[in-house]
Amino acid sequence: MSKLFYPALFHKAEEGGFWISFPDIPECLTQGDDMTQAYEMAVDALGLALSDREKDHQPLPASSDPTTITLEQDSFLAVIEFDMLTYKKRTNSRAVKKTLSIPEWLNEAATAAGLNFSQVLQEALIAKVQP
pLDDT value at position 53? 93
Q: What pTM did the predictor assign?
A: 0.70
Show the domains of the chain with their CATH numbers.
Answer: 3-91 (3.30.160.250), 95-131 (no CATH)
13 vs 97, more confident:
13
- Judge whether residue 117 has pLDDT over 70: yes
Give pLDDT tens digits for 29-73: 999 999 999 999 999 999 999 999 989 999 999 999 999 999 989
pLDDT for residue 1 is more than 70: no
Return phi, psi of residue 120, to 5°: -65, -45
Give, in order, the Cα–Cα distances in Å from 22 to each of 42, 52, 65, 68, 82.
Answer: 9, 15, 12, 13, 13
Q: According to the model, what pLDDT value does residue 9 have? A: 96
Beta bridge partners of 8: 78
Would you give the DSSP letter of residue 19? E
Q: Which residues of 46-66 are buried (b: 16+ CB within 10 A; e: fewer)?
A: bbebbeebeeeeeeebebeee
pLDDT at 94 over 80: no
Q: Report the number of secondary-structure helices (H) and strands (E) in the chain.
A: 4, 4
